[in-house]
């Protein structure tokens, strides 16, 4: 299992202090797999475990760190297929459709993007399944649930890189 924080610095007001940068640099990727991961991270940052936790709590309180999450290595857990579904959502309906699609447990990512040239799609979801057929079934079920019938399922073929953002 991989532990990483999601959304560090998404809502930063001003530049972080040097101490905040040192703390963020220790939590932006994988946390140590041990009984007290913040103690190890604090030692690498050159501060006490309690001071480290205090900084993390303050960053969380201020909305700079939105959440910590466990990232499941889906292939190792039996979810060998994944696909990005590109949706052609009528203008003015993307926010409502995006919120509905994001509410499905099979959807791990949901983004709105501008249409580009001849490419008509403006909403994107990432889904995971145990097979390509299951991903197609999920996409069809989502389509029926939200009433959007123009979509394209783009399967991942090879994963070249998958990491969390490294800010500092």
Strand bridging mode 67-71 / 151-155 = unpaired
Per-residue CA distances from 56 to 5, 27, 59 (Å): 11, 9, 5
Class of 81-155 in CATH:
alpha beta
Q: Note every long-range contact of 39-42, with CB atoms under 8 Å and residues 24 or more positions apart, other chains counting.
A: none
126 neighbors 82 (Cβ within 8 angstroms) = yes
Threshold 0.95, pTM exceeds = no
Sequence-ordered list of residues with C-beta below 8 angstroms from that of 124, at least 6 positions apart, any chain: 84, 85, 86, 87, 109, 110, 111, 112, 113
- Domain ranges (residues) in the chain: 2-71, 81-155
SS3 for 111? strand
CA separation, residue 152 to residues 108, 119, 136, 140, 162 (Å): 17, 11, 10, 10, 23
Instruction: Return the SS3 of 58.
Output: helix
Classified by CATH at the fold level, domain 2-71 comes out as Arc Repressor Mutant, subunit A (1.10.10)
Tens digit of each residue's pLDDT, the chain (168 residues): 334 444 444 344 568 899 999 999 998 877 778 899 999 999 999 999 999 999 999 999 998 888 776 665 666 656 678 899 999 999 999 999 999 999 999 998 999 999 999 999 999 999 988 899 999 999 999 999 999 999 999 998 888 877 777 777
């Amino acid at each position: 299992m991989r532990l990483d924080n999601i959304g560090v610095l998404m809502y930063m007001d001003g530049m972080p202090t040097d101490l905040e940068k040192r703390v963020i640099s220790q939590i932006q990727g994988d946390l140590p797999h041990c009984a007290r991961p913040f103690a190890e991270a604090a030692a690498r940052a050159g501060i006490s475990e309690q001071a480290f936790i205090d900084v993390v709590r303050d960053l969380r309180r201020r909305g700079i760190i939105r959440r910590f999450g466990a990232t499941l290595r889906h292939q190792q857990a039996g979810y060998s297929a994944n696909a990005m579904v590109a949706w052609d959502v009528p203008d003015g309906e993307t926010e409502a459709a995006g919120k509905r699609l994001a509410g499905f447990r099979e959807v791990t990512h949901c983004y709105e993007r501008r249409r580009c040239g001849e490419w008509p799609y403006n909403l994107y979801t990432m889904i995971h399944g145990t097979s390509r057929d299951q991903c197609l079934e999920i996409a069809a079920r989502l389509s029926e649930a939200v009433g959007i019938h123009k979509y394209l399922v783009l399967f991942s073929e090879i994963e070249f890189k998958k990491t969390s953002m490294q800010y500092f």
